[in-house]
Amino acid sequence: MCADHSNNEVWNESFSETARGAQRQEDSDAWYAVTGLLIAIISVGVTLAAFTVFVVSQYSGV
């Protein structure tokens, strides 16, 4: 996943193809790190919610 900068002349003229490729790679790596962290947080939250529902349903009659 990377942005399309083909119409951005300033960006194309300011950096070499190698530098642009490195910037795209760094951007992709950062995006994957952030989304991975968010998915992990959501997964932990859903797991804790399911565990809480289980515990409450087991001990609600006591």
38 in a structural domain: yes
Read off the DSSP letter of residue 15.
S
Q: Region 40-58: what's the mean pLDDT?
A: 96
54 in a structural domain: yes
Number of domains in the chain: 1
Which residue would you say has higher pLDDT here, 21 or 1? 21
Q: Which domain holds residue 40?
A: 9-59
Report whether pLDDT(50) > 70.
yes
Q: Token digits for 8?
A: 């951005």
- Summarize pLDDT for 11-33 with one digit per residue, the tens: 888 889 999 899 999 999 999 99
Residue 2 makes CB contacts below 8 A (sequence gap 6+) with 24, 27, 28
Report whether pLDDT(6) > 70.
no
2 in a structural domain: no
4 in a structural domain: no
16 in a structural domain: yes
- Cα gap 46→52, rounded to integer Å: 10
Residue 11 makes CB contacts below 8 A (sequence gap 6+) with 5, 20
Which residue would you say has higher pLDDT here, 44 or 62? 44
Q: Is the pTM of this model over 0.85?
A: no
